[in-house]
Amino acid sequence: MKIRVVHYLNQFFAQIGGEEKADIGPGFKDGLVGPGRALQQALGDNGDVIATIYCGDNYFAEHQEQAIDEQCARIAEYKPDLLIAGPAFESGRYGIACGAICQAAQQRLGIAAVAGMDEDNVGASLHRKNIYIVNSGTSIVRMVPTLQRMAALGLKLVRQEAIGKPADEGYLPRGIKRNEFAAKPPAERAVDMLLAKLRGDEFLSEIAPPKFAGGKPAAPLRNLKSAVIALVTDGGLVLEGNPDKIEPGRPTRFTTIPVAGVDSLDADKYDAVHSGYDTAFANRDPNRVVPLDTMRELERDGVIGKLHDFVHSTGGAHAAVENATLIGRQIAERLKAAGVSGVILTST
Amino acid sequence: MIPVAKEVGSLRAIASGGIVSPTGNPDLPPDKEKDFRRELIRRVLKKLQEEV
């Protein structure tokens, strides 16, 4: 039986136009367009690209719910077995669209879906846990081999065949752990690995190290005298009584402490909540963790433009990288929205 | 904590007053501790103005 495949593309790959056409809403064509040719070749006699759906990257980003609703309704009419989206390479808006449409097709329509994009595409971090995403790398040169991988994986999903490990099938790890029988016990595997390392041979760790997002450092502050500086800490500073109930360890949230008009952090009004260090010194003088008194003086002396009116704080002990990343992003968004130009983060 | 900061891509990092008192030094008398903090923050502010 030939499987029926719908292919999602953005306005560029659907040959509608470049950035000037990024505002167009969802559109549909019977048959294949552009990269669909390589997809059809990869499918061979196993399936047909029966339709291409496309959408402008900006339209999708700005009307995501609407775009998904409309596209799902139309995809359903084609009665496909499989949705292939992209590959989007390193294009963030396109990657998010590919991930979102695959997730919706899978959940709402119950059809198999595979997206393609670079592993660092923001769409990958948003959707990799819920859908299969083939790592395309950043370069369009990888279009054909990526579509081959996507087609092969899609066929397996439609046929409900067993899906191998991410490294073998070419998709991004989804954070799923499966028990399996190993030929050798852990001690032997560890020694084998060590010997391979000593010989300079290749070896593969069985535990994936956490990957840190990194990110580009901000440009240096040009003018301190007009800068708004915010204080942030992972030292667990809280208002007395910890009203936001931040966790002393394994944090999942942060607290926002108003400090407008506060000249110094009074030991009676603030606490440090943190399971990773002895908080006695901080509790005796919280300025030892968040240097509010000094910053207020520097503001008064005109060394800095303004001290931000809020301190954001979390207890950074044993933080899971994912939670810490989320907390960091949320704090950064608030600071940015408030017009803060520089941040001093004190870490315990 | 400097290697940790660098590892996660936080390149503007300077050594603090210690784990239990990053912007203080409990061994100093209070007035000297404030001087210590002011000096530390001045270095921090300088770092914020540096290219990395």
For residues A317-346, give the mean pLDDT. 92
Asked if omega into A248 is within 30° of 0 (cis), the reply is no
| Residue A310 one-letter amino acid | F
Tally of domains within chain B: 1
ipTM of the complex as predicted: 0.96
Q: Where are the domains of chain A?
A: 3-169, 224-346
Backbone CA torsion sign across A246, A248, A253, A257: positive
Q: How confident is the model at residue A213 (pLDDT cuts 50, 70, 90)?
A: low
pLDDT, tens digit, 9 for 90 and up, residues B1-52: 777 787 778 889 999 988 899 999 999 999 999 999 999 999 999 999 999 8
DSSP string, A247-304: -SSS----EEEE-TT--S--TTTEEE--SSS-THHHHH-GGGTS-HHHHHHHHHTTSS
- For position B19, what pLDDT does the model report? 87
Q: Kindly indicate the confidence band of residue A214, based on its pLDDT and cuts at 50, 70 and 90.
A: low
> pTM to 2 decimals?
0.61
Contact B48 A235 (CB under 8 A): no
Cβ-defined contact of B23 to A284 (cutoff 8 Å): no
Establish if A298 touches chain B: CB-CB under 8 angstroms: yes
Which chain A residues are within 8 Å of B23, Cβ to Cβ?
287-291, 294, 346
- pLDDT tens digits, A253-300: 999 999 999 999 999 999 999 998 999 999 999 999 999 999 999 999
Percentage of residues in chain A with pLDDT exceeding 70?
98
Residue A113: its pLDDT value, please? Answer: 98
* Cα(A158)–Cα(A275) distance, integer angstroms: 49
> Which residue intervals of chain A are DSSP H helices?
36-43, 57-62, 64-78, 92-104, 122-127, 143-158, 166-169, 186-199, 280-284, 292-300, 321-337
Contact between chains at B45 and A348 (C-beta distance less than 8 A): no
- Which candidate from A235, A297, A303 shows the least CB-CB separation from B22? A235
The mean pLDDT value for A155-180 works out to: 92
Q: Which residues of A58-82 are buried (b: 16+ CB within 10 A; e: fewer)?
A: bbbbebeeebbebbbeebeebebbb
Instruction: Tell if the CB–CB gap between B37 and A285 is shorter than 8 Å.
Output: no
Q: List beta partners, residue A293.
A: none
Closest residue on chain B to A290 (Cα): B23
Q: Choose from B1, B20, B47 for mutation: most chain A CBs within 10 A.
A: B20
The answer to whether the CB atoms of A217 and B19 lie below 8 A apart is no
Say whether B44 and A214 touch across the interface (CB within 8 A): no
Nearest to A287 among B11, B23, B51 (CB): B23
CA distance B45 to chain A (A): 8
pLDDT digits (tens, 9 = 90+) for A77-94: 999 999 999 999 999 899
CATH of segment(s) A3-169: 3.40.50.2000
Structural domain harbouring B22: 2-48
Tell whether A289 lies on the interface with B, counting CB pairs under 8 A. yes
Q: Report pLDDT for A183.
A: 92
